[in-house]
Amino acid sequence: MVIGAAARVAITGCRKLVSSHSSLLVSSHCRHMSMDAGSVSEKLRNSGLLRTQGLIGGKWLDSYDKKTIKVYNPATGEIIADVACMGVRETNDAIASSYEAFTSWSRLTAGERSKVLRRWYDLLIAHKEELGQLITLEQGKPLKEAIGEVGYGASFIEYYAEEAKRVYGDIIPPNLSDRRLLVLKQPIGVVGAITPWNFPLAMITRKVGPALASGCTVVVKPSELTPLTALAAAELALQAGVPPGALNVVMGNAPEIGDALLTSPQVRKITFTGSTAVGKKLMAAAAPTVKKVSLELGGNAPSIVFNDADLDVAVKGTLAAKFRNSGQTCVCANRVLVQDGIYDKFAEAFSEAVQKLEVGDGFKEGSTQGPLINDAAVQKVESFVQDAVSKGAKIILGGKRHSLGMTFYEPTVIRDVSDNMIMSKEEIFGPVAPLIRFKTEEDAIRIANDTIAGLAAYIFTNSVQRSWRVFEALEYGLVGVNEGIISTEVAPFGGVKQSGLGREGSKYGMDEYLEIKYVCLGDMNRH
Nearer to ligand NAP, 205 or 461 (CB): 205
| Minimum CB distance to ligand NAP, residue 527 (Å) | 56
Question: Is-contact 306 338, C-beta < 8 A?
Answer: no
Chain residues 246-265 in contact with ligand NAP, contact rule CB under 6 A: 254-255, 258
Nearest in space to 225 (alpha carbons), one of 139, 314, 124: 139
Please tell me whether residue 197 binds ligand NAP under the rule CB under 6 A: yes
- Candidate list 8, 16, 144, 179; residue touching ligand NAP; CB under 6 A: 16
| Minimum CB distance to ligand NAP, residue 213 (Å) | 19
- Candidate list 3, 135, 278, 444; residue touching ligand NAP; CB under 6 A: 278
Nearer to ligand NAP, 36 or 504 (CB): 504
| Minimum CB distance to ligand NAP, residue 249 (Å) | 12
| Minimum CB distance to ligand NAP, residue 194 (Å) | 5
- In the DSSP assignment, the letter for residue 164 is G
- Candidate list 148, 274, 370, 399; residue touching ligand NAP; CB under 6 A: 274
Please tell me whether residue 200 binds ligand NAP under the rule CB under 6 A: no
Nearer to ligand NAP, 296 or 441 (CB): 296
Question: Is-contact 73 37, C-beta < 8 A?
Answer: yes
Q: Which stretch binds ligand NAP (CB under 6 A): 151-159, 193-201, 230-238, 309-317?
A: 193-201
Count the Cβ atoms, other than its own, within 10 Å of residue 138. 25
SS3 135: helix
- In the DSSP assignment, the letter for residue 213 is H
Tell me the C-alpha distance between 313 and 94, whole Å: 48
Tell me the C-alpha distance between 478 and 229, whole Å: 27
Question: Is-contact 62 94, C-beta < 8 A?
Answer: no
Tell me the C-alpha distance between 62 and 69, whole Å: 11
Beta strand 412-415 pairing with 394-397: antiparallel
Beta strand 456-460 pairing with 478-481: parallel
- Candidate list 86, 305, 330, 444; residue touching ligand NAP; CB under 6 A: 330
Nearer to ligand NAP, 218 or 314 (CB): 218
Q: Is 296 a catalytic residue?
A: yes
Tell me which residue has its CB nearest to ligand NAP: 258
Please tell me whether residue 223 binds ligand NAP under the rule CB under 6 A: yes
Q: Rounding to the nearest 10 degrees, give the CA dihedral for residues 519, 520, 525, 527.
A: -50
Sign of CA dihedral 37, 43, 47, 53: positive
- In the DSSP assignment, the letter for residue 174 is P
Q: Which residues pair with 72 in a beta bridge?
A: 79
Please tell me whether residue 194 binds ligand NAP under the rule CB under 6 A: yes
Tell me the C-alpha distance between 383 and 381, whole Å: 5
Binding letters toward ligand NAP, positions 452-491, x by CB under 6 A: ---x------------------------------------
Nearest in space to 251 (alpha carbons), one of 32, 4, 55: 55
Please tell me whether residue 142 binds ligand NAP under the rule CB under 6 A: no
Interface with ligand NAP (CB under 6 A), residue total: 28
- Directed axis angle between helix 35-47 and helix 128-139, to 10°? 130
Please tell me whether residue 84 binds ligand NAP under the rule CB under 6 A: no
Nearer to ligand NAP, 374 or 461 (CB): 374
Tell me the C-alpha distance between 61 and 22, whole Å: 29
Tell me the C-alpha distance between 129 and 195, whole Å: 22
Q: Which stretch binds ligand NAP (CB under 6 A): 22-30, 143-151, 296-304, 465-473?
A: 296-304
Please tell me whether residue 430 binds ligand NAP under the rule CB under 6 A: no
Please tell me whether residue 275 binds ligand NAP under the rule CB under 6 A: yes
- Candidate list 84, 225, 270, 314; residue touching ligand NAP; CB under 6 A: 225
Beta strand 333-339 pairing with 432-438: parallel
- Candidate list 140, 299, 327, 398; residue touching ligand NAP; CB under 6 A: 299
Nearer to ligand NAP, 410 or 427 (CB): 427
Nearer to ligand NAP, 96 or 282 (CB): 282
| Minimum CB distance to ligand NAP, residue 289 (Å) | 15
Q: Which residue is catalytic, options 130, 224, 256, 296?
A: 296
Tell me the C-alpha distance between 24 and 328, whole Å: 20
Nearer to ligand NAP, 77 or 495 (CB): 495
Question: Is-contact 132 220, C-beta < 8 A?
Answer: no
Residue 333 to residues 58, 302, 389, 479, Cα–Cα distance (Å): 40, 6, 20, 11
Catalytic positions, written as ranges: 296
Could you list the residues that contact ligand NAP (CB under 6 A)? 16, 194-198, 203, 221, 223-225, 254-255, 258, 273-275, 278, 281, 296-299, 330, 427, 455, 495, 500
